[in-house]
Amino acid sequence: MALQGKITTNRSIQAGGLKSKTIVARNMTISDGQSLSSLTDVDVTARVDGALILWDDATSKFKVRPDAENANLKIIGGSF
């Protein structure tokens, strides 16, 4: 039940799969000078050298933190 689509070099759109053949495409451009701190769902107030980004479900924002104190965090390094 997957919708498959293809945008060709002449920008025509073709779709196959479901009866409702709707493809939604959106152009996004990122210009020079944009930064992570300008995003509305990112809190960078605790930003320091070596910080990492964690999702905070309580605030529905990504938070830049110097530590990873979270009971739900699991770092799986693989098998050696």
pTM above 0.85, yes or no: no
Q: What is the pLDDT of residues 18-73, one digit of tens each?
A: 565 566 777 777 777 778 888 899 999 999 999 999 999 999 999 999 998 888 88
- Secondary structure class of 30 (helix, strand, coil): coil
Contact between 50 and 35 under an 8 Å Cβ cutoff? The reply is no
Domain residue spans of the chain: 41-69
- Cβ neighbors of 7 (< 8 A, separation 6 or more) are 13, 25
Long-range interactions of 17-26: CB distance < 8 A, separation 24+: none
Element (H, E) at 43: strand 42-43
